[in-house]
Chains A and B, each alone.
Chain A
Amino acid sequence: MNKLQPDQNILDIRNLYVEYLTEHGPVKAVENVSFTIAQGEVFGLAGESGCGKSTIAHTILRVLRPPAVITGGEILYKGVDVLKMDDMSLEEYRQKIPAIPDGKEIAASADIIEAFRWAETSMVFQSSMNSLNPVIRIVDQITDVLMKHEKLNTRQARTRAEELLEIVNIDKRRLDAYPHELSGGMRQRVVIAIALALSPSLMIMDEPTTALDVVVQKDILQQIEQLKKDLGFSILFITHDLSLMVEFSDRIGIMYAGEIVELAPAKEILTNALHPYTQGLLASFPSITGPRIELTGIPGSPPNLISPPKGCKFHPRCSYWDGIETSSSPPLKEISPGHWVACTCHIEKTKLA
């Protein structure tokens, strides 16, 4: 059995390209995105609508459907390319994907991708309080996932479901309820419980708390933080709320128009954001302490992804643009250890200053 090395990354995305084919031309949703997620790490992917973050999440889970097309790159999960998993045999899968925790039974079903989903990687979608089946009791929605992947009878599955509800702090008597009988925050926690059901090594959360009130949001994220410490999984945390992300993530990637424009430890992003877009984003959050300062946000609007601006995609909205039209996006450069930025105008000037 292939054992995962302690310093081996759970996820290693290399030069990923994803497009959506439309009658007006291909929408370049993800352009040359690369990043890694270490074991037990929370990696935040921040950006506004249309930046490509949700597309990346769907690509990892292999839930993209036409007109979405993966046009390049690799997604290495525990060293194995997820994009080529269909071609693996079950033996190969069992051999190459080390189970965490050790000794966990890998699913016996013939569908490799299905075994990968839920057991290795699971996802909490946006507004997932609405993704529970309204006509099926909570217990059945949890045991359904359990019994598909593990050899459990109904009673064993129910016991396991009770344990899962306990983990997310819901009274197990609510198991027999229908989704509409629970509050929004509770439904969200049920979805998180389902995502944890098979002890995945990587959990992807796409705006998991946007539809929730701020108090419930804090409560849920604290619980997830604790669960992560106890169970040891990694998290890919996707949101547009940068202030929330800085509190919760270890490292953050800022996305703009399909590209990563800055990548750094969370604290660095907060204290030393280098890309003008990141600076603009941070300046869009009014504070609840200190003096009232006039904030401006970022002028202009996100670009058209069918015909994006030439060169740096942010330049039309950038106050630091030096007026030179370039032919390709600036590459990500490591400005200081662990801190990568894709910017030429501003960074060069800052270095010279």
Chain B
Amino acid sequence: MAVINSPNQTSTDGVPLLEVRQLVKLFPVGSAISPKYVHALNGVSFSVQRGEVVALVGESGSGKSTVARLVVRLIKPTSGEILLDGEDVLKTEAHKVSLNYRQRVQMIFQDPFGSLSPNLSIGYQLERPIIIHKRARGKAVRARVLELLKTAGLNPPNEMIDKYPFELSGGQRQRVAVARALGVEPEIILADEPISMLDVSIRMGVLNLMKKLKEEQKIGFLYITHDLASARYIGDKTMVMYAGYIVESGDSLQLMENPRHPYTQLLLAAVPNPQAGLTTRVVQSRGEILSLIDLGPGCPFAPRCPQVMDVCRTSMPEKATIDLSHWVRCHMFPADADHR
């Protein structure tokens, strides 16, 4: 796959670090007599390069967390491919996720209070993955832990190492979560709403840390959030999800300056933006996301779309390239001839 104008380092032959193709995930609900499925993901494809932050934006029910859980392989997809450096891991390690995969693909969770064990010291929790993944041995382990604490901005490291989570603030705990993920020297980190539970003045510190890691260590990030502003701040590329589909994707600044999909426009209009002045823009939002069980053949946004046309109710639009990396799935734009 050729990469056009990418400022980021890719692996040697232009193969993306992570590529996801046509991921579908159905969750069974209902009974054996009347089986029903929640269509959490309906064919999602995207890629993440080394040193690239891809922001995945969507509201609850959009499927963004399902994407993370599939990529980190906590759950199995109904169909689709997950390629790490061009290799489909669902084929090469179909039944048991290898230690190697876990070392290369790490995750940071939303809840800083829930993702650390309360009765183990910070030092111990940072040591374990390093030892398990054999990244260091003996005295080098402690040295590595101290280095990680310093990188994550947890100072002074030799005091932090013996503390317990309850002694730390939410922001500090989230930094421990980042340090823990870093310890195994991952190539890609999935961050699922890492700052939404943190105090506002602390959020920037954690985001800047992620930015630093992307720039200095060329780690790829999939940054999942419902907050467009932070997606724009840290994301090189932004993808907008709705009801299990990616409906628009492109360079963050470009996409938010010139959103094409009516849903993206709705999201942008709804973000509180005091810099734009205090005029209250009236947002036409009729209803909310419909049930993901009875989705129907058309575009899931049709019931809410201010520009809905007849065709929108009967078929899901395919990808239409706007320019370079910016594409949209909307019947207002003619689909590419060779859509995939």
Residues of A whose CB lies within 8 Å of any CB of B are: 48-49, 183-186, 213-219, 222, 225, 240-244, 246-247, 266-267, 270, 280-281, 283-290, 292, 294-299, 301-302
Of the residues A216, A243, A298, contact of B272 by C-beta under 8 Å = A243
Provide the residues of chain A in CB contact with B77, threshold 8 Å: none
Provide the residues of chain B in CB contact with A296, threshold 8 Å: 204-205, 208
Provide the residues of chain A in CB contact with B288, threshold 8 Å: 183, 185-186, 216
Provide the residues of chain B in CB contact with A289, threshold 8 Å: 256-257, 273, 275-276
Provide the residues of chain A in CB contact with B94, threshold 8 Å: none
Closest to A286 in B: B233
B280 near A288 (CB under 8 angstroms)?
A: no
Asked if B305 is an interface residue, CB under 8 A from chain A, the answer is no
Asked if B274 is an interface residue, CB under 8 A from chain A, the answer is yes
In angstroms, Cα B171 to Cα A301, docked, is 9
Provide the residues of chain A in CB contact with B205, threshold 8 Å: 296-297, 299
Provide the residues of chain B in CB contact with A48, threshold 8 Å: 199-201
Provide the residues of chain A in CB contact with B278, threshold 8 Å: 246-247, 266-267, 270
In angstroms, Cα B171 to Cα A219, docked, is 31
Of the residues B59, B171, B200, B256, contact of A288 by C-beta under 8 Å = B256
In angstroms, Cα B172 to Cα A287, docked, is 24
B266 near A288 (CB under 8 angstroms)?
A: no
**Minimum Cβ distance to chain B for residue A292 (Å):** 7
Closest to A210 in B: B196
**Minimum Cβ distance to chain B for residue A308 (Å):** 15
Of the residues A225, A240, A243, A292, contact of B274 by C-beta under 8 Å = A243
B200 near A242 (CB under 8 angstroms)?
A: yes
Provide the residues of chain A in CB contact with B337, threshold 8 Å: none
Residues of B whose CB lies within 8 Å of any CB of A are: 59-60, 169, 171-172, 199-205, 208, 226-230, 232-233, 253, 256-257, 266-276, 278, 280, 282-283, 285, 288-289
Q: Chain B CB within 10 Å — which of A240, A244, A283, A286 has the most?
A: A286
B253 near A215 (CB under 8 angstroms)?
A: no
**Minimum Cβ distance to chain B for residue A15 (Å):** 27
Count of CB-CB pairs between chains A and B under 8 Å? 121
8 smallest CB-CB distances across A and B, nearest first, come from: A297-B204, A286-B233, A298-B201, A213-B59, A246-B274, A218-B270, A48-B199, A244-B272
A219 near B275 (CB under 8 angstroms)?
A: no
In angstroms, Cα B172 to Cα A7, docked, is 47
In angstroms, Cα B169 to Cα A302, docked, is 9
A241 near B203 (CB under 8 angstroms)?
A: no
In angstroms, Cα B280 to Cα A216, docked, is 15
In angstroms, Cα B168 to Cα A302, docked, is 11
**Minimum Cβ distance to chain B for residue A42 (Å):** 12
Of the residues B172, B233, B285, contact of A219 by C-beta under 8 Å = B285
In angstroms, Cα B199 to Cα A242, docked, is 12
Closest to A186 in B: B288
A290 near B271 (CB under 8 angstroms)?
A: no
Closest to A299 in B: B205
In angstroms, Cα B287 to Cα A216, docked, is 9
Sample of 12 more A-B contacts, CB < 8 Å, known A183-B288, A214-B226, A247-B280: A185-B288, A213-B226, A214-B271, A219-B283, A242-B200, A246-B272, A266-B278, A286-B230, A289-B256, A289-B275, A295-B233, A296-B204
B171 near A214 (CB under 8 angstroms)?
A: no
Closest to A301 in B: B169
Closest to B233 in A: A286
Provide the residues of chain A in CB contact with B200, threshold 8 Å: 48, 240-242, 281, 284-285, 297
Provide the residues of chain A in CB contact with B60, threshold 8 Å: 184, 213
